[in-house]
Homo-oligomer: A and B are copies of this chain.
């Protein structure tokens, strides 16, 4: 089973990396951008049978290792066969 965990700084926490990317985008000419936040993404391959088992494990991983819950929030997504959205090759 494949899952994706996304970790972002909490909305109330300053995100200097996001600010830098925002400024860089403006400099290159992307004016319609009004805000950018930068986070981490983990694609995890799990050898478990059921979705609830996977969710339990992934939740534990976030709390123990992948996210700092004081500063960050996380999202867990179980990935299907094909991911929605456009993919650039």
B-binding residues in A (CB < 8 A): 6, 8, 18, 21, 24-25, 28, 30, 32-48, 55, 57, 59-67, 69, 73-78, 83-89
Q: How far is the CB of A66 from chain B (nearest CB, A)?
A: 7
Number of copies: 2
Given contact pairs A6-B41, A41-B41, A67 touches B88 in the complex (Cβ within 8 A) = yes
A-B contacts, 26 of them at CB < 8 A, read A21-B65, A25-B61, A25-B65, A28-B65, A32-B47, A32-B57, A33-B44, A33-B46, A34-B45, A35-B43, A36-B43, A36-B44, A37-B43, A38-B40, A38-B42, A38-B43, A39-B40, A39-B41, A41-B41, A55-B86, A62-B88, A73-B87, A75-B85, A75-B86, A76-B87, A77-B84
Q: How far is the CA of A46 from the CA of B21 in the complex (A)?
A: 14
* Chain B residues whose C-beta falls within 8 Å of the C-beta of A64 in the assembled complex: 28
